[in-house]
Amino acid sequence: MNQPKIVILGAGYGGLTTVAKLQKKLGVNDAHITLVNKNDYHYESTWLHEAAAGTLHHDRSRVKITDLINSAKVNFVQDTVTAIKPDEKKVELQDGELEYDYLVVGLGFEAATFGIPGLLENAFTIGSINKARLIRQHIEHQFAQYNNEPEAKQERLNLIVGGGGFTGIEFVGELANRIPELCEEYDIDRSKVRLIVVEAMDTIMPGFDPDLIEYAMNSLEARGVEFKLGAFLKEVRADGITVEQNGEKEDIATMTTVWAAGVRANHLVEESSLEDNRGKVEVTPELRAPSHEDVFVVGDCALVWNKEIDRPYPPTAQIAMQEAEVCAHNLVALVKGGELEHFEFINRGTVCSLGEDDAMGSIFGGKKIYGWTASFMKKVIDNRALYKIGGVGLVLKKGKFNIL
Amino acid sequence: MNQPKIVILGAGYGGLTTVAKLQKKLGVNDAHITLVNKNDYHYESTWLHEAAAGTLHHDRSRVKITDLINSAKVNFVQDTVTAIKPDEKKVELQDGELEYDYLVVGLGFEAATFGIPGLLENAFTIGSINKARLIRQHIEHQFAQYNNEPEAKQERLNLIVGGGGFTGIEFVGELANRIPELCEEYDIDRSKVRLIVVEAMDTIMPGFDPDLIEYAMNSLEARGVEFKLGAFLKEVRADGITVEQNGEKEDIATMTTVWAAGVRANHLVEESSLEDNRGKVEVTPELRAPSHEDVFVVGDCALVWNKEIDRPYPPTAQIAMQEAEVCAHNLVALVKGGELEHFEFINRGTVCSLGEDDAMGSIFGGKKIYGWTASFMKKVIDNRALYKIGGVGLVLKKGKFNIL
């Protein structure tokens, strides 16, 4: 028995879609497949902003990995990766190590703090189930404390979202819907609560169509969201932030800063001997590391160039899952023989949620959609991601059908 | 129009039962009745331990005062009492003052801290809706933080209840039921959580029958509750407590100390010129202040002597409501003419809840009851209190019918 050993690191969109495809295409005797993940569950990272806002329970956005894999074909190891050693063809884990013939790196993102003082210590990031439910509880705790203090502390009701990009805007949309519920729960006037987006660019959602941006801002402002554009976060403290806008500095008292402005690839990629570009691996057309052709990289750790605009594609679930399909195909070709494919990104459009029943985006070659239509499409996209990972069963179990 | 002015301070069990009875017995032209309360709602203070544990939503234990009073007969003033001036026949409020011909003081309890260092600053007390929901959120926040810290902090999962009396035991019973839910919500092993009752006496529930005490301890220990008896709380810090037991001191790391060991009457009583005994007014048989016969005192601010055992009756909702009936009768007699009644406490028994579906206590002349029977009786008692204050309508709206 000389089966090649395939090791997949990470059960996010990239890693898990790869596994789902491999276990369909490979027989029990074709390869020895191992999936490594820190938690015993996969989570829909694009849904975490809802868990963080408290509008969707986090259990709705996670699935036990053993419910998704075919344990006759895939060995699941719950452990934390501590180092990738491509020259030795092995991976170090907290509690052991693994050798491989083929490696798939799908270790996802972590927050990029751009050296802003105090950000790492005092801001929250929406990066995991643990962090998302902590944000939910932290915010609720501020509301619970507010009426218990002899001097009302406005910093408890000032909520700052750092970054008006995709994650920041989706989170603000949910939070804007959650705030009236919190106000009712803790007997607080809605007018006392401030929800402020701080964005360094002159616009939210840079790169989106101006009509869509205007729609999003109107929708959020109607629910009380304030925007500080062209505003740089200079410092984050436990009880406030400093913002610089038009050359003037302003302090805003707050106990809650959620940083949604920057992500980078998992630091293990940069620390490995895989050639990196901006902390990611700029992959070959077959999605392999240029320096190590037995290593595939998918998702947020992979850098793929968009030649049309001469910039890298942004890290999204959509591209991660498309990469995983090609990665799995190529692994099967290497194991059983066949042609290797080249990756080409097919843009199926992007929809940005603005809360439970509102959204905006573009689909099929640039058609703009808004409001209920966009919100419906967003749920279709979310359910499609579930389908790719766990089939119809998972869609029925965790899917979003609150479409009316 | 020379109607006597009746002012009732506090919409707790005592004050509100007085109002409910007065508005039945007096016509619109008989008296000018004013009820003063800090909040625009009455709350069932004997249910607050459930809101604090998170097992019953606080909205279930409160009612809007305007839904309970007949506004043609009773004028409701939402304000905070700052001083009682019986010699001037007036009451000072935060935003004004009121003159009276007859006053009813029903201002309830506040926590007694016995000078324990750090208790006031660092311990929670279950004294209001605001405080109860803060405790609920504080505990949940500890669980939410636990898995987000590189070094696990046991103090987040150590929960201390100061006092093994009625309130302490009822709270622990609810919390013991809540903990498995919190463990599931935040992916924490139940075995890591400690729930510790610190009681200075050698027994919990002093004065209760030993069989009942044993039953309660067994029920709670089976759900993981630890008891430190004969143990004195020497200090409360933000991150721990010091306990002295058998002459030995022990530090326990904790972020959560809930103090349920002592109550005293509202401090306004002691600060007034009403004669006080242990901070309360030792009332005449008609429930009047000995020094001022136009002032009635009901509930936790009144001291009534139990001659059988030569000790004061403990402050309970049961005695407060019985006092209110006599107080209202006597006010009606003073306004319309008639005999004044003397107060006699009728012990209808006491049932201590041990959580949703368990309880223990004694009823009808000392018959001991346990488990489901006692739990059922407890709900009957809770519903009876609602009935006294708001009639059948309130029982149907907020009552406890989860009796199976």
ipTM for the whole complex: 0.81
Query: Could you tell me which chain A residue has the CA closest to the CA of B144?
Result: A134
What is the per-residue pLDDT for B1?
56
pLDDT given at position A133: 96
Mutate to test the interface with A, among B130, B188, B255 (most CBs of A within 10 A): B130
Q: CA B231, CA B56: separation in Å to the nearest integer?
A: 30
How far is the C-alpha of A9 from the C-alpha of A105, rounded, in Å? 5
Q: pLDDT digit string (tens) for B193-247?
A: 999 999 999 999 988 899 999 999 999 999 999 999 999 999 999 999 999 999 9
Cβ–Cβ contact A38 with B under 8 A: no
pLDDT the model gives residue A1: 56
CB-nearest partner of A131 from B133, B148, B186: B148
CB spacing of B144 vs A134 below 8 angstroms: yes
Using a CB-CB cut-off of 8 Å, the residues of chain B touching A185 are: 133
Contacts of B153 in chain A (CB under 8 A): none
Say how far apart CA A87 and CA A97 lie, in whole Å. Answer: 14
Q: How confident is the model at residue A403 (pLDDT cuts 50, 70, 90)?
A: low
Contacts of A144 in chain B (CB under 8 A): 133-134, 136-138
* Fold match flag (A5-38+79-111+264-346 vs A113-261+347-404): yes
Q: Which of chain A's residues have a Cβ under 8 Å away from the Cβ of B144?
A: 133-134, 136-138
Q: How many CB pairs under 8 A join A and B?
A: 41
Q: Which residues of A touch B186 (CB under 8 A)?
A: 133
| Closest CA of chain A from B45, distance in Å | 17
- Chain A residues in contact with B130 by the CB 8 A cut-off are 147-148, 187
Assess contact for A93 and A79: CB atoms under 8 A.
yes
Distance from CA of A15 to the nearest CA of B (A): 23
Please indicate whether, in this complex, the C-beta atoms of A148 and B141 are within 8 angstroms of each other.
Answer: no
According to CATH, the topology of domain A5-38+79-111+264-346 is FAD/NAD(P)-binding domain (3.50.50)
- Residue A393 — very low, low, confident or very high, per pLDDT cuts 50/70/90? confident
Q: What is the pLDDT of residue B349?
A: 87
What pLDDT shows up at residue A304? 96
Measured between CA atoms, the residue of chain B closest to residue A125 is B148
pLDDT category of residue A52 using cuts at 50, 70 and 90:
very high
Above 70 in pLDDT, residue B124? yes
CA distance B22 to chain A (A): 30
Count the Cβ atoms, other than its own, within 10 Å of residue A56. Answer: 20
Chain B residues with CB under 8 Å of A137 CB are 137, 140-141, 143-145
Identify the pLDDT of residue B390: 87
Looking at A155-164, B328-337, B385-394, which range is the least confident one? Answer: B385-394
Distance CA A11, CA B372 (A): 47
pLDDT of residue B364: 77
Please state which of the ranges A396-400, B128-132, B300-304 shows the lowest mean pLDDT: A396-400
Task: Identify all chain A residues contacting B150, using CB atoms and an 8 Å cutoff.
Answer: none
Task: Using pLDDT thresholds of 50, 70 and 90, give the confidence band for residue A158.
Answer: very high
Structure token digits, residue B145: 């933080």
Determine the number of helices (DSSP H) and then strands (DSSP E) in chain A: 9, 28
Residue of B nearest to A143 (CA): B134
Q: Which of A134, A138, A148 sits opposite B130 (nearest CB)?
A: A148
Separation in Å, CA A27 to CA A21, A73, A323, A327: 12, 7, 22, 17
Catalytic residue selected from A170, A174, A199, A323: A170
Substitution target in A48, A62, A130 with the highest count of B β-carbons within 10 Å is A130
Of B134, B148, B185, which is closest to A148 when you measure between CB atoms?
B134
- Closest CA–CA distance from residue A188 to any residue of chain B (Å): 11
Cβ contact, residue pair A185, B133, below 8 Å: yes
pLDDT of residue B275: 80
Residue A380 has pLDDT above 90, yes or no: no
Contact B144 A137 (CB under 8 A): yes
Q: Cα distance from B324 to chain A (closest Cα, Å)?
A: 29
Q: Exactly one of B44, B170, B174, B323 is catalytic; which is it?
A: B170
Q: Which two tokens stand for residue A89?
A: 């063809």
**B338: pLDDT strictly greater than 70:** yes
DSSP-based helix, strand, coil % in chain B, nearest 5: 35, 30, 35
Q: What is the pLDDT of residues A211-227, one digit of tens each?
A: 999 999 999 999 999 99
Would you kindly state where each structural domain of chain B is located, as residue ranges? Answer: 5-38+79-111+264-346, 113-261+347-404
Distance from CA of B133 to the nearest CA of A (A): 6
The conformational region for residue B85 under phi > 0 = left, psi -120 to 50 = alpha, else beta, is beta
Residue B319 confidence class, pLDDT cut points 50, 70, 90: very high
Residue A242 has pLDDT above 80, yes or no: yes
Mean pLDDT of A191-213: 95
Give me chain B's average pLDDT, please. 94
Q: Select the residue of B130, B137, B148 nearest A134 (Cβ to Cβ).
A: B148
pLDDT at A162 over 70: yes
> Which run of H or E residues covers position B231?
strand B231-237
CA-based nearest residue in chain B for residue A185? B59
CA distance B43 to B63: 6
Task: State what percent of residues in chain A have pLDDT above 70.
Answer: 99
For chain B, report the end-to-end CA distance as a whole number of angstroms: 55
B134 near A CB under 8 A: yes
CA distance B137 to chain A (A): 6
pLDDT tens-place string over residues A315-355: 999 999 999 999 999 999 999 999 999 999 998 889 999 99
pLDDT at B310 over 80: yes
Question: For B316-333, what is the mean pLDDT?
Answer: 96
Give the chain A residue nearest B134 (alpha carbons).
A144
Phi-psi region of B364 (alpha: psi -120 to 50; beta: other; left: phi over 0): left
| Residues A328 and A340 sit within 8 Å (Cβ to Cβ) | no
How close B128 comes to chain A (CA, Å)?
10
Which residues of chain A have a CB within 8 Å of the CB of B187? 130
Mean pLDDT of chain A: 94
Element (H, E) at A30: none
- In this prediction, residues B278-295 reach a mean pLDDT of 96
> Do the Cβ atoms of A144 and B131 come within 8 Å?
no
Taking Cα atoms as reference points, which of B360, B372, B363, B362 lies closest to residue B403?
A: B372
Percent of chain B with pLDDT over 70: 99
Which chain B residue's Cα is nearest to A148? B130
Q: How confident is residue A207, by pLDDT bands cut at 50, 70 and 90? A: confident
Answer with the residue of higher pLDDT: A400 or B62.
B62
Residue among B62, B122, B186 with most chain A CBs within 10 A, to mutate: B186
8 Å CB contact of B130 and A147:
yes
CB proximity B90 to A under 8 Å: no
Size of chain A, expressed as the number of residues it contains: 404
> CB B141 to CB A138 under 8 A?
yes
pLDDT at A237 over 80: yes
What number is the average pLDDT over the span A130-148? 97
Give B146→chain A minimum CA distance, Å: 9
Residues 350..379 of B with a Cβ closer than 8 Å to A: which? Answer: none
Interface of B with A in 184-223 (CB under 8 A): 185-187
State the pLDDT at residue B39.
96
User: Which residues 285-304 in chain A show a CB within 8 A of chain B?
Assistant: none
Q: Percent of chain A scored above 90 by pLDDT?
A: 81
pLDDT number for residue A397: 87
Can you give the pLDDT at residue A184? Answer: 96
| Mean pLDDT computed over B35-49 | 94
* Percent of chain B at pLDDT exceeding 90: 81
Which of B134, B146, B186, B189 would you mutate first to test chain A, the one with the most A CBs within 10 A?
B134
CATH topology of domain A113-261+347-404: FAD/NAD(P)-binding domain (3.50.50)
Indicate whether B267 pLDDT > 90: yes
- Angle, nearest 10°, between helix axes A317-336 and A13-25? 30
Confidence check: pLDDT of B403 > 70? no
Residue B98, phi then psi, degrees to nearest 5 = -130, 135
Would the CB atoms of A186 and B133 count as touching at under 8 Å? yes
Q: Residue A175, CB half-sphere, CA atoms under 13 Å: how many?
A: 34
- At residue B216, the pLDDT reads 95
Nearest to B276 by CA among B307, B300, B311, B310: B300
Better-scored residue on pLDDT, A163 or A365: A163
* A88 in catalytic set: no
Look at residue A39 in the predicted model and tell me its pLDDT.
96
pLDDT score of B365 more than 80: no
- Whose tokens are 């990738």? That residue is A84
For chain A, positions 145-174, list CB contacts with chain B under 8 A.
145, 147-148
pLDDT in tens, A6-51: 999 999 999 999 999 999 999 999 999 999 999 999 999 999 999 9
| A134 touches B at CB < 8 Å | yes
- Residue A249 CB-density burial (10 A; 0-12 exposed, 13-18 middle, 19+ buried): exposed
